[in-house]
């Protein structure tokens, strides 16, 4: 019974998100709509320390990557910033667009009020997102390269690139370790890694994974309050 109600609520939430994205997509059809869309993104970027860190990171060479895209809210802001400041760089986005892989949620991610069952159903049903994001990027001539699939299958496809900026927003302990194992060495000295889930009550495994990974490395996690919404990050050492 609880699972039935949970699924019902999840479906409703998802329908609301799709309706919101359809309204956003409709803006791409007219010049006024497109400029309104960009103005809205500018407002969101002005609130975001993630974006302030990205602006700093773009002083270094390399591409940009987000691991954990979901419906593309942060990715659109990243794309807008890169288009304004470094339009030749490519923004990569990695996501299954169907939630966590089987076995992706482990004991490190579960809290008293968030069971494994509950977490496993999150972020499913985002199949419509890649086409929407590609259409958005095309409309503004932004360089976007999406890789759909579980990280274990997609990280290899970007491992020949170097990155000025890596945004990790994949929630779980296992996801963080997979991404850091594959991409830490691909981030250039002075490049920045932002940890969206660090120090959150919802995803304790994210903090644990980052702390464990950095324990024998020279970097440490810092927090940026450059803009209204703070962000946890590290700067890659030389």
Ligand X SMILES: C[S@@+](CC[C@H](N)C(=O)[O-])C[C@H]1O[C@@H](n2cnc3c(N)ncnc32)[C@H](O)[C@@H]1O
d(CA 80, CA 86): 10
Q: Tell the smallest beta-carbon distance from residue 28 to ligand X (Å).
A: 19
Cβ atoms of residues 220 and 236 within 8 Å: no
Token pair in block for residue 103: 């076995």
Q: Tell the smallest beta-carbon distance from residue 238 to ligand X (Å).
A: 29
Nearer to ligand X, 1 or 115 (CB): 115
Token pair in block for residue 123: 């972020």
Q: How many residues does the chain have?
A: 238
Q: Tell the smallest beta-carbon distance from residue 90 to ligand X (Å).
A: 18
Q: Tell the smallest beta-carbon distance from residue 122 to ligand X (Å).
A: 7
Cβ atoms of residues 54 and 235 within 8 Å: no
Nearer to ligand X, 92 or 150 (CB): 150
Nearer to ligand X, 101 or 190 (CB): 101
Parallel, antiparallel, or unpaired: how do β-strands 163-168 and 187-195 relate?
parallel
Nearer to ligand X, 83 or 176 (CB): 176
Parallel, antiparallel, or unpaired: how do β-strands 63-67 and 163-168 relate?
parallel
Nearer to ligand X, 164 or 203 (CB): 203
- Which residues of this protein are in contact with ligand X, per CB under 6 A? 68-71, 73-74, 95-96, 99-101, 104, 123, 150-151, 169-172, 175
Nearer to ligand X, 130 or 191 (CB): 130
Cβ atoms of residues 71 and 17 within 8 Å: yes
Q: Tell the smallest beta-carbon distance from residue 94 to ligand X (Å).
A: 6
Q: Tell the smallest beta-carbon distance from residue 24 to ligand X (Å).
A: 13
d(CA 106, CA 205): 8
Token pair in block for residue 56: 């700093």
Q: Looking at 6-97, which runs of residues are DSSP E strands?
A: 63-67, 91-95
């Amino acid at each position: 019974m609880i699972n039935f109600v949970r699924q019902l609520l999840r479906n409703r939430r998802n329908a609301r998100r799709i309706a919101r994205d359809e309204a956003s997509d409709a803006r791409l059809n007219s010049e006024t709509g497109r400029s309104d869309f960009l103005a809205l993104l500018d407002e969101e970027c002005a609130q975001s320390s993630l974006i302030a860190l990205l602006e700093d990171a773009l002083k270094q060479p390399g591409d940009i990557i987000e691991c954990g895209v979901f419906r593309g809210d942060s990715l659109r802001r990243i794309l807008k910033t890169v288009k304004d400041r470094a339009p030749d760089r490519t923004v990569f986005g990695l996501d299954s667009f169907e939630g966590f892989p089987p076995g992706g949620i482990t004991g490190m991610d579960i809290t008293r009020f968030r069971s494994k069952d509950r977490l496993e159903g999150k972020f499913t049903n985002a199949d419509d997102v890649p086409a929407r994001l590609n259409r958005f990027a095309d409309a503004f001539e932004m360089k976007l390269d999406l890789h759909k699939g579980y990280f274990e299958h997609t990280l290899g496809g970007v491992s020949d690139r170097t990155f000025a900026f890596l945004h990790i927003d994949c929630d779980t302990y296992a996801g963080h370790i997979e991404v850091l194992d594959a991409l830490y060495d691909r981030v250039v000295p002075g490049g920045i890694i932002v940890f969206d889930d660090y120090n959150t009550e919802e995803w304790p495994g994210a903090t644990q994974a980052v702390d464990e990974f950095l324990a024998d490395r020279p970097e440490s996690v810092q927090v940026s309050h450059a803009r209204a919404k703070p962000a946890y990050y590290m700067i890659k050492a030389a």
